[in-house]
A and B are shown apart, each in its own frame.
Chain A
Amino acid sequence: MALRQAQGDTAAQGDTAAQGDTAAQGDAAAFDFAGLAARLRPQCEALVAQYEQPRSALLPMMHLFQEHQGYVSQDAMRFAADLLGLSPAVVESTVSFYTLFFRKPVGKYMLQVCRGLMCELNGAEATMALFREKLGIGHLETTDDGLFSYEEVECLAACDKAPCMQVNLEFLYNLTPAMIDEMLELMRTGTYAIAPMVQTAKPERTWKVGQDAQVALGGKSPGTLNATDPNNAGGVGDASGVIMLDRFVSKDVAFTARSRERLVRDARAVAEIVEEEGANGHAGH
């Protein structure tokens, strides 16, 4: 009883891209937020009208802005705060609760692979390792070219078609290595069936390590190495990266004592910076 369609059907029409929001790659200042806000205002007001209380429209409004701007910007949150009569801090506190709101620019393809138990029983670990290897990034990271963001997510309610994932929130089921190869290739050439997300600002590099690590890993993020521990695979930008680095440095890669020391120091420094920036929110983006 295969009750839901295979991926061919779901992948058919991507509809995230909004006309007119041209990607101002690498030049966030060029993005005309005021123009976008003016265009979306009527839709936002219609959303407010759907509910007995205006604040209920907050999540739908943030979805709307993310669709058009590629992420939930400070501007968008301030706009929502204004419209709903809330303080910007209350809006940000709310938005930061939800993992599907990206508070920093992300890649054009958001690859969210299920790490749930039912998928793990059916090969998700190998699938995740393959993605990390092919992309050169780990959990919650974005490739340098801004094309891919990668995340390992909780059960997607499609466990009968494991292993599975979402690409820009469209489901892909029963993943195989061949499918993954083909998908990444088509995405790179811009011919994939699922539309890329709007990108109005270049994603920041999400992992930062000392040169030694990059050289040792062929330019890849340390997050790529961590196949057994999805939760701590946050790369070095994640505080847990310290633990992780410690582990792979001692076990998986032959480092000199000096470079090992330096790596751990770098990792600690980054973890501190990250903590200072308070960028350890629920969403992680």
Chain B
Amino acid sequence: MPVTKVLTAGIGEADLRDISVYRARGGYKQWERAVRDLKPADVMEACDKSGLRGRGGAGFPTGRKWSFLPNNGKPRYMVCNCDEAEPGTFKDHMLLEETPHLVLEGILLGAYGIGCTHAYIYIRGEFKRGYQIFQKAIDDARAAGLLGKNILGTGLDIEVTAHRGAGAYICGEETGLLNSLEGKRGEPRLKPPFPAIAGLYGMPTVVNNVETLAYLVPILEKGADWFASVGTERSKGYKIVSVSGHVQKPGNYEVPIGTTVREIIEIAGGLRPGRTFAAVQPGGQSSACIFEEHLDYPYDYESMAKAGSMLGSGAFTVFDDTTDWVKAALNSVRFYAHESCGQCTPCREGGHWLERVLHRFVEGRGLRSDLEMIRRVSGTITGLNLCALGDSIEPFLKSVVNRFPEQFEARVMQELTPA
């Protein structure tokens, strides 16, 4: 079995929330080493050489993202994105609650690497318990001299502030997040300028996912080459995959990138007895489904794109033959309709209209012309919005309408009965 515990090592075995337990297992060693022996450029170089790509959804190379920061003497910010609300994703929630010091060490390394003195972590409002756990981790680390003023007596100052959201998926989008962190409505900003140029408080800012930053710790410990030696050509290292849906043992599984789709299903206990495979949604609610013919594809960024989908946040939902695709499509579209922030007409209106149409289908009152319309309408929603939420409405819907048209056709109203 290719499950390899890197970030997930020790979870479920030891109480990693306890700073002494974390340290006894080698925790904060990389941070101490960085502060004492490494220059920020060393951290940045390790990050770059490792091939680490963002685990929040877009898969952007982390080292490259950092390199966009201008050298203009302005303060810089590192913001850790722990808003995790992409349906099907539950890895950051686990890392935050189960191994908060690893997350904190990753944030500190990231902050040091980009030369930031005040880092923030934006925690989803629903993770109230996680927020408390993380706040305690900050307090304990501060008491141990690991953050705050004059870290480990070296004169280095890095502050970390935990900030809790208050319910809104769109605050996971990095510029929505920054607005929310500034105490505003979490509406995404027009880009450019990108956060690297003008982010938090208008200053150069890096937004990185929890898992992305946490991987900095093992990368510094074992070396960039170790990380880069795992994975596929352009997708390096490990990934926590959140497997859910119709499998026997749903959960978070950390695997080398490039493990096949079929293997991941097997790792999660396989399908329920007597069921047959229908589809996998490999990258969260925003991604299109992939099917039987893709079972032996490696789970990496390029292969998922080749299969017509994306790796996204690593949410991996398995569907078997019992799935009601019409209801599933309604659920997915309803989510986006509900979470649209409303700034862009195609996203705001498109989601709601599609929801109503699908609702008709669920009730067996679909119209034949609706099916045509669903296939056509995507061109008038996708690509016309400020942020990727609007572009996420249709991939899943379209992939299942095309693959399981009979389920939709069966819900077309047969005849119009007079009231």
Contacts and interface: CB of A to CB of B under 8 A. Distances in A.
A229 B323 CA distance: 17
A157 interface: yes
A154 B169 contact: yes
Interface string B213-244: 00000000000000000000000000000111
Interface of A: 1-4, 10, 50-53, 55-60, 62-63, 84, 93-94, 97-101, 115-118, 120-122, 154-162, 166, 169-171, 228-232, 247, 282-283
Contacts of A232: 359
21 contacts: A3-B252, A4-B98, A52-B118, A56-B183, A59-B164, A59-B180, A97-B185, A98-B186, A101-B166, A118-B87, A155-B335, A157-B93, A159-B88, A159-B90, A159-B242, A159-B244, A159-B317, A160-B251, A169-B126, A169-B129, A231-B355
B195 to A, nearest CB: 15
Contacts of B250: 159-162
Contacts of B251: 1-3, 160
Given A121-B317, A166-B126, 5 more contacts: A62-B166, A63-B164, A100-B165, A157-B124, A159-B90
Contacts of A231: 334, 337-338, 355
Nearest to A96: B185
For the complex of A and B, the 9 pairs showing the least CB-CB separation, nearest first, are A100-B167, A98-B166, A99-B167, A55-B183, A58-B183, A155-B87, A159-B244, A160-B250, A97-B185
Contacts of A3: 8, 11-12, 94, 98, 251-252
B260 interface: no
Contacts of B27: none
Given A1-B12, A155-B87, A59 B183 contact: yes
A55 B179 CA distance: 11
A23 B295 CA distance: 57
B388 interface: no
A98 B317 contact: no
A117 B97 contact: no
Interface of B: 3, 8, 11-12, 84-90, 92-94, 97-98, 118, 124-129, 161, 163-169, 180-187, 201, 242-246, 249-253, 285, 315, 317, 319, 323, 327-328, 331-332, 334-335, 337-339, 341, 355, 359, 362-363
Nearest to B284: A155
A284 B243 CA distance: 32
Contact of A157 (B8, B85, B319): B85
Given A2-B12, A100-B167, A229 B85 contact: no
A118 B245 contact: yes
Nearest to A117: B331
Given A59-B163, A116-B87, A157 B168 contact: no
Contacts of B89: 155, 157
Nearest to B317: A118
Nearest to A90: B184
B362 A228 contact: yes
Contacts of B84: 157
A117 B168 contact: no
Given A59-B163, A60-B163, A98-B125, A154 B87 contact: yes
A113 B127 CA distance: 15
A154 B339 contact: yes
A184 to B, nearest CB: 21
Contacts of A57: 183
A201 B124 CA distance: 27
Contacts of A98: 125, 165-168, 186
A119 to B, nearest CB: 9
Nearest to B246: A121
Given A117-B332, A118-B244, A154 B164 contact: no
Contacts of B125: 98, 100
Of A1, A115, A116, A162, most buried by chain B (CB within 10 Å of CB) is A1
A121 B250 CA distance: 12
A93 B129 contact: no
A121 B319 contact: yes
Of A4, A62, A121, A229, most buried by chain B (CB within 10 Å of CB) is A121
B253 A53 contact: no
Contacts of B92: 157
A129 B11 CA distance: 35
Contact of A1 (B88, B169, B253, B338): B253
Contacts of A117: 87-88, 285, 317, 328, 331-332, 335
A115 B328 CA distance: 11
A53 B127 CA distance: 24
Contacts of A101: 166-167
B413 to A, nearest CB: 14
